[in-house]
Chains A and B, each alone.
Chain A
Amino acid sequence: MNLVRAELERLAARRFVQLMVVLLAAAFAVTVVTTLAGSHRPSPAELSRAQAQAAESVREMEMTYDRCLRIREGSLPPAENDYLPRDCAQIDPAQLDELPTAADYLSGVFVFAKEAEPLLYFLIAFLTLFGFLVGASYIGADLNSGGVVNLLLWRPRRSTVLAAKLGTLLGGLVGLSVLASVAYLGAFWLIGQASGLVGRTGGDFWPSLAAIWGRGLVLVLLAAALGFAVATLGRLTSAALGAVAAYVVVWELGARLVFQILQVGRPDRYMLSSYLAAWLSGEVRLWDGNACGPGISGYCDGSYTVTWPSGLVVLLGLTGALVAAAFTVFRRRDLM
């Protein structure tokens, strides 16, 4: 416990961590200010106009649906460039997830419900980068500045010391992520309240936002643990950065090209980015360029999906393996 307390203070006192927090706060402030500047509370007139436009477009959709049904029944001849789905239910407004609302027809008005998701993704991206860099530099700098050796003279249990560091890092990140997310979404919600619209936040709005947040948090922690493990293995902060750069260039770009040339089926299966996307968005649909070659006639669906469970398994497995390797190596290593 004492160890964790000392580590937490050490972590918070790091220049790099402070810099990143300031950056986060600055990015946050800039977004809030520009959003505030570009948004206003809609006047009753604007609102009613937008409502009318929304109602109009809903009515149009209903008419189209109606027409579709009638054409299918044969009671109406199709016009020349009518687009008709095979099954009219596909355009049944009653079955749509979201009907157009007034919010869609307001310009210069910030609508929280519409913007929350992309804002949250931005925050997750920032925190993931933050987690990775802090994870790597925290242990990297400590290994090089003699901090680890000094600590080991006091606590000659290497696994405990390393685990305390990793645990403190992850715990600190969870705390920071919670704070940042609440402050961030809270601020934008308030902007929506005060000088925009909150929009439709009923139904599964909050649950689905919470799900994205939860996935994002897991990603942030995985990135931090990954950076920590690679920097421990390589004894350097830059080892982690180098490893990521090398992976992207050699594998995501280079190997992808080679797979293409060799016409290997479903190359995306071998790419971490696919699993990352699958984990974050629940599922990715990928398309295999080789599945529908010239020999296949008729309808061919070359797509396949990667689902979030396999995304999680791959990401967890990779991170877990690297962390385990880092602990094993660190326990046996000669420390200078």
Chain B
Amino acid sequence: MASNRMRRIGKEIADIHADAHSQIKAEPFGNQDDVTHLRGSFPGPPGTPYEGGTYNIDIKIPTDYPFRPPTMKFETKVWHPNVSSQTGAICLDTLSTAWSPVLTIKSALLSLQSLLSTPEPKDPQDAEVANMLLKSPKEFERVARDWAVVYAGAPASADNGSGSSIDDTRQGAGEDSLAKYDGYNKNLIDRFSSMGFDVDRVVAAFRHVGVERRGGQDYELEENSMGEIAARLLGE
């Protein structure tokens, strides 16, 4: 049974690799030989606050897979009523009572992607998020977008939040004021300043968290660092 499971998972991973079209990915989490712990990812669906972000999923394959569903949770923090904002735990029937052995890791990841487009606040995993979606959808969209920018690497766009102040921040950051960036790459800082924070405050937060300058290179910040920076900026 065990080797059958390994063979099927191996085939599934190969199928996912062969299909570059869907932008769904799945790789062993750590040890390349261990296919029972995977990391999947998919892009946030267009037309949602999650657009442009990349969402990583922690996938554990049980011993009686495919007769029991894989255990999945969001590794990337996401503001969504059916995902715990604290633990990433997911409320989705496909991954529990509605699982079927003909479903695959890929089909499960596709269902998660479509869950992001179809939040169901009446059956919440995170009551706080669900309440916000029901009571003030605008506020929900704003927070969901902020989280997508901070945690999922979505581009900060000017049409979210209070437009004019963001444009001002951008224009103020001309060539002559590069000194303000204190040796950090401008794009790194702007990812936060475009959310409406002063460049000076962002730079201070970077210094506080101890982010590396890497000679002014643009690079991908660790999720932990981004969380700490955001917390610092939000005064938590």
A and B, one complex?
no
